[in-house]
Structures are given as C-alpha cells and as structure tokens.
Structure 1
Amino acid sequence: MLKQFFIICSGADTDILEDCSKGEQNKYAGIGATVFFTALMAAIAGSYALYTVFDNLFTAIFFGCIWGLLIFNLDRYIVSTIKKTGNIIDELIQASPRIVLAVIIAIVISKPLELKIFEKEINQVLLEEKNQLTLNNKAQIAEQYTPNIEALKNDITALQNEVDTKEAEVNQLYDTYIAEAEGTAGTNLVGKGPVYKEKREKHDALLAELQELKADNKAKIKAAESEIAQLQTDYETQVTDTQPIINSFDGLMARVNALGRLPWLPSLFIFLLFLAIETSPILAKLLSPKGAYDLKLEDQEDMLKTNVAQNKNQRALLLKTDNTINDRIYTDIEQEEELYNHKRKVARELMQLQADAFFKNQKKIL
C-alpha cells in the first residue's frame, strides 16, 4: 500500500509500471517518496513562516498544508514530465527549466526553516535592533520637545538673572547709605543727615521694585516650570505610546533581514541541503539508465502517435477520393436530358408559387 502510494506520488503510469520489474517499481517508489517528503517539509516550513505573520496556529497550519500541496503538485509535475531519451544533452536541456524551478522552490522552503533553526541568534539581533530603534525613537521625539524646553529654561535663567541684577543694585545702595551713616564714605560725616535720607529713600524705592520684580518673575518662572513639566510629560507619553510598535518589530521581513546579518556559511549549507532534496527526484531520473518503464512508455506514445498519423492520413485520402468521385458523378449526369426536364419542371412550379405568394401579400397591403 505504501509502495503504491509513493509510485502515485512519482507521477508514473501505474498501468505500465505494473508490468515492469520490482527494481523498476522500487526506483519510482523512491522518487515518489522524495517528492512526498519534500512537500511535507514545505508544509512545515510554510506553516512556520505563516505563523510568524498571522500569529495563529490553526490559520498557519491550514495555509501551510495548502502550500505543501502546491509544492507536491509542482514536484510531481516536474518529475513526471522528464522523458528518458538516451541522450544526456537532450535530457539536460529538457530538465533545465525544471531545475531552475526546483532551485526557486528550495529557496522558498529553506528560508522559513533557517529562521527557526537560527531563532535564538535572530532574536539577539532583533533585540539589538529594538534597543537601537528605542534610542533613535527617543532622540527623534526629543527633537520635537527639546527646543521648547530649552527656550523655557533660558527664559527662567533670564528672569532669575534679572532678579539677581536688581538685587545686586539694591545691595549696593544699602551699602552706600550704611557707609554714609557711618561716615566711611560719601560726606564722611557720621549720622543720618540729608544725604543719608536721600540714599535711603532711593534704596527703599529700588527694594520695593525688587520685591515686585521677584513676585512677577516668580509667577513667570513657575508658569515656565509648569510648561516644562507638561512638555516632559508629553514626551514620556509619546515614548510610551510608540514603544509597543518597536516591541512588535519581529515580523517575517524583520527576521529575514536579521538572518541576513548572521554569517552566511551556515545558511548556505542549509540551502544546499534543501536544494539537493528538491532536485534529487530530477537528478535520479537524469542519472538513472533508460529502464523498462521508459521503453514501454516510449513504445506506447509512439504507437499512439503512429495511430493518430495513420487516422489523419486516412481521413485526408478519404476526403480526396470522395471529392474525385463526386466530380466524376456530377460530370456524368450533367448532360442527361431527363434530369434537365425534371429540374425545369420543379423550378417552374417554384416560381409560380413565389408569384402567387407575392400577389397575395400585395393584395393584403392594398
């Protein structure tokens, strides 16, 4: 039962193969087994690849099975259409398009399995890329908020410097009127004279301005600090909102790109392995000698071609003979008087009937 199943997988004509030797049957059973297991691996690889896309096990298995059946049908077609002619050059020319197709199938099959085999290494590469993306994302978002924050900080510094400048002026006036009172500067007279009072009044006026300036600048600084805090909160919120996008950066294309950053030699060997598996049925047919199955199949096809050619020639000769006979028959009866009189009578009756019918139609119209 299993042997018969693999023979069907090989695409061979089971009716012809039944009359062949056991060795010939085993050869095609081996080719069919290769086709079957290649399709099975394609289904597994396709399921894994689709699982990374849909993240749903049942969906991945369903479409993976469809992919496996597609590969099975292609492989079976490729193997079944290669005919043994005994000329290796003709066979290679015949198989070259199929070998190219086998290479493409091998690439498609091997890539998802490479992703699974090197999953840990790919995860490490993706982690590094995610970390870099996180840093880049924070830097890009910061570019939207940093200029405003820096401008507000500069405003705060300017407001603070304005207060400090005014406070320095007040302190200088304080030292001036104290020195006047002590007699160490100004008029050098000890006591609170008119000059002292003038300087004291000037100091008090500037001190009142300082107090007012402190109150105004404090309110402005508080508003600026509040705005800075809001900008920083918005920055953190945007970073938090965009982080899930970076965390989900592990789709099929991202993994394929990450695989490309790994050393190429292991991937090459895996590809060559699947290429050998995929092309093994074709190579088996090319390298195997022309067997009994090939001879019987060729004989059956030649027999059919001969039969078709004979039927075609017979139909052509039959048509030619029939035309010749008809030409002779009509030539012989062309001069017969009896046939002429009969056809003349029939034509006369037909014309009379047509004239009567035309008269009736014209009468109805009038």
Structure 2
Amino acid sequence: MLKRFFLICSGADLNLLENCANGEQNKYAGIGATVFFTALMATIASAYALFTVFNNIYTAIFFGIIWGLLIFNLDRFIVSTIKKRKSKRKELIQVLPRLLLAMIIAVVISKPLELKIFEKEINQVLLTEKNQMTLDNKTQIAQLFTPEIEKINTDIASLKNEIATKEQEVNTLYETYIAEAEGRKGTKLLGKGPVYKEKRDKHDAALSELSQLKTSNNEKIKTKEEIIRNLTQQQKEAESKTQPIISNFDGLMARVNALNKLPWLPSFFIFLLFLAIETAPIFTKLISSKSEYDYKLENHESIVKTWIQQQIHQREAILQTDVDLNDKVYSDLKTEEDLYNYKQKMARNLMKLQTDSFYKNQQDIL
C-alpha cells in the first residue's frame, strides 16, 4: 500500500509499472518518496513562516498544507515530464528549466526552516536592533520636546535670577543702613540719624519690591514648571505609544534580514541540503540508463502516435474523396437540360414578383 502510494507520487504510469521488474518499481517508489517528503518539509516550513506572519496556528496549518500540495504538484510534474532521450544533449536541455525551478523551490523551502533552526541567534540580533531602535526613537521624540522645554527652563532661570539680583540689592541696602547706624560707614556717626532713616526707607522699599517680585515670579515659575511637566508627560506617552511597534518588530521580513546578518556558511549548507533533496529525482533520471519502464513508455507513446497519425490520414482521405465526389456530381448536373429549364423558370417567376412588389411600393408612395 505504501509502495503504491509512493509510485503515485512519482508520477509514473502505474499500468506500465505493474508489468515491470521489482527493481524498477522500487526505483520509482524511491523517487515518489523523495517528492512526498519534500512536499512534507515544504508544508512544515511554510506553516512556520506563516505562523510568524499571522500568529495563528490554524491559519498557518491551513495555508501550509495548501503550499505543501502546490510544491508536491510541482515536484511531481517536474519528475514525470523528464523522459529519456536518444541524445544526452536533448536530455540536458529538457532538464535545465526543471533544475532552475527546483532551485527556486529549494530556496523557498529552506529559508523558513533556517529561521526556525537559528531562532535563538535571530532573536539576539532582533533584541540588539530593538534596543537601538528604542534609543533612536527616544532621541527622535526628545528632539520634538527638548527645544521647548529648554526654552521654558531658560525663562525660569531668568525669573530666578531676577529674584536673586533683587535679594542681593536688598541685602546690600540692609548692610548699608546697619553700617550707618553703627557708625562704620557713611557719616560714621553712631546712632539712628536722618541718613540712617533715609537708607532704612530705601531698604524697606526694596524689600517690598522683592516680596512682590517673588510672588509674581514664583507664580510664573509654577506655571512654566507645570508646562514642563505636561510636555514631559506627552513625551513619555509618545514613547509608550511607539514602543509596541518596536516590540513587535519581529515579523518575517525582520527575521530574514536578521538571518542575513548571521554567518552565511551554515545557512548555505542547509540550502545545499534541500537543493540536493529537491534535485535528487531529476539527477536520478538524468544519470540513469534507459530502463524497462522507459522502453515500455516509449513503445506506448509510439503506438498512440501511430494510431493518431493513422486517424488523421484516414480523415484526410475521406475528406478528399468526398470533395472529389461532390465536384463530379455538380459537374454532371451542369450539363442536364431539365435542371437548366427548371432554374430558368424559377428565376423568371422571382423577377416577376420583384417587379410587382416594386410597382406596388411606388403606388403607395404616390
């Protein structure tokens, strides 16, 4: 049962193989097994590749089976259409396009499996790229908010400098009127005279201005600090919104690009393995000598070809005979007097009817 299944997979004519030697049947069963297991590997590879895209196991399995059947049909077609020729050159010409198709299929099958085999290494490459993308993303977002935040911080520093300058001025005035009272500066008279009172009033006025300036500037500073907090919150929200995009940067194309950044030699050997599997049936047929099945197939095709040629020749002969008979019949009819008189009579009647009809139409118009 299993052998017959593999013979079906090989695309060979089962009716011809039934009468062939057991060794011949085993050869084509091996070719069919190669076709089947190649399609099975294609199903697994495609299902994994599609799972990385859809992230749904049922969808991946469904489309993976369809892809496997497609590969199975292509491989079966490639193997079944390779026939032994009298010339090796003709065999090579017919094999070249099939080899090209087999190479394409090998690439398509091997690439998803490479992604699975080197999954850990690919994840490491993707992690490094994600970290770099996160840093770049934060830098780009910061460039949108940093100039405005820095401008506001500059304004806050300016407001604080105004307060500090005014405090320095008040402190200087305070030192001045205290020194006047102690007789260390100014009039150098001990006591609280008119000069002391003047300097004290000036200090008190400056102190009042300082109080008003602190109240005004502190309100402005609080407003600007609140703006900075809002901008910082917006910056964090922008980072949190874009971070999931970076976290999900592990699709099929990203993994293929990450695979290409790994050493190429292991991937190349895996590709060679699948290329050997995919092209094995083709090379088996190419290098093997003409076998019992090939002779029987050639004989069967020759019988069909001869029978079709006979049918075509017979139909052409019948057609030519029918044409010759018709020519002779109509040639004989041309010389019959009765047929001539009858056709002349009918033509005369037809012309009369046409004349009467024309006359009636003219009357109706008038």
Range moving further from structure 2, 307-316 or 295-304:
307-316
User: Cα offset for 1:264?
Assistant: 0.6
Shift of the 290–214 alpha-carbon distance from structure 1 to 2, 3 Å rule, reads same
Partner Cα distance (1:232, 1:337) in 2: 116
User: Cα offset for 1:302?
Assistant: 2.1
Confirm whether residue 92 of structure 1 aligns to residue 73 of structure 2.
no
Partner of 2:83: 83
Q: Any unmatched runs of 5+ in structure 1? A: none
Range moving further from structure 2, 19-28 or 35-44:
19-28
Partner Cα distance (1:197, 1:351) in 2: 148
Q: Any unmatched runs of 5+ in structure 2? A: none
| DSSP 3-state at the match of 1:187 | coil
Partner Cα distance (1:161, 1:356) in 2: 123
State whether residues 180 and 188 of structure 1, in contact with CA within 8 Å, keep that contact through their aligned partners in structure 2. yes
Partner Cα distance (1:266, 1:84) in 2: 36
User: Cα offset for 1:355?
Assistant: 6.7
Partner of 2:59: 59
User: Cα offset for 1:151?
Assistant: 1.3
Partner of 1:312: 312
Partner Cα distance (2:130, 2:288) in 1: 52
User: Cα offset for 1:283?
Assistant: 1.0
Shift of the 356–206 alpha-carbon distance from structure 1 to 2, 3 Å rule, reads closer
State whether residues 11 and 76 of structure 1, in contact with CA within 8 Å, keep that contact through their aligned partners in structure 2. yes
State whether residues 86 and 290 of structure 1, in contact with CA within 8 Å, keep that contact through their aligned partners in structure 2. no
State whether residues 84 and 290 of structure 1, in contact with CA within 8 Å, keep that contact through their aligned partners in structure 2. yes
2:55 counterpart letter in structure 1: D
Query: What CA deviation, in whole Å up to 9, does each residue of 1:217-255 have, x standing for no partner?
Result: 111111222221222222222222222221111111111
Aligned residues: 365
2:21 counterpart letter in structure 1: S
Partner Cα distance (2:354, 2:153) in 1: 115
Partner Cα distance (2:227, 2:333) in 1: 118
Partner Cα distance (1:343, 1:223) in 2: 117
State whether residues 79 and 281 of structure 1, in contact with CA within 8 Å, keep that contact through their aligned partners in structure 2. yes
Matches within 5 A, 1:247-326: 247-326=247-326
Partner of 2:219: 219
User: Cα offset for 1:279?
Assistant: 0.9
User: Cα offset for 1:350?
Assistant: 6.6
2:259 counterpart letter in structure 1: L
1:125 counterpart letter in structure 2: V
Partner Cα distance (2:340, 2:169) in 1: 146
Partner Cα distance (1:12, 1:93) in 2: 21
Matches within 5 A, 1:172-211: 172-211=172-211
1:209 counterpart letter in structure 2: E
State whether residues 11 and 80 of structure 1, in contact with CA within 8 Å, keep that contact through their aligned partners in structure 2. yes
Matches within 5 A, 1:135-150: 135-150=135-150
1:58 counterpart letter in structure 2: Y
User: Cα offset for 1:337?
Assistant: 3.1
| DSSP 3-state at the match of 1:82 | coil
State whether residues 78 and 98 of structure 1, in contact with CA within 8 Å, keep that contact through their aligned partners in structure 2. yes
Partner Cα distance (2:251, 2:203) in 1: 73
2:73 counterpart letter in structure 1: N
Partner of 2:167: 167
After TM superposition, the runs of 4+ consecutive aligned structure 1 residues lying more than 6 A away are 349-352
User: Cα offset for 1:318?
Assistant: 3.2
1:277 counterpart letter in structure 2: I
RMSD of Structure 2 on Structure 1 (CA)? 2.3
User: Cα offset for 1:37?
Assistant: 0.5
Shift of the 355–260 alpha-carbon distance from structure 1 to 2, 3 Å rule, reads closer
State whether residues 180 and 186 of structure 1, in contact with CA within 8 Å, keep that contact through their aligned partners in structure 2. yes
Partner Cα distance (2:93, 2:73) in 1: 22
Partner Cα distance (1:51, 1:357) in 2: 86
2:77 counterpart letter in structure 1: Y
Matches within 5 A, 1:127-138: 127-138=127-138
Confirm whether residue 8 of structure 1 aligns to residue 17 of structure 2.
no
Partner Cα distance (1:313, 1:319) in 2: 10
User: Cα offset for 1:176?
Assistant: 1.3
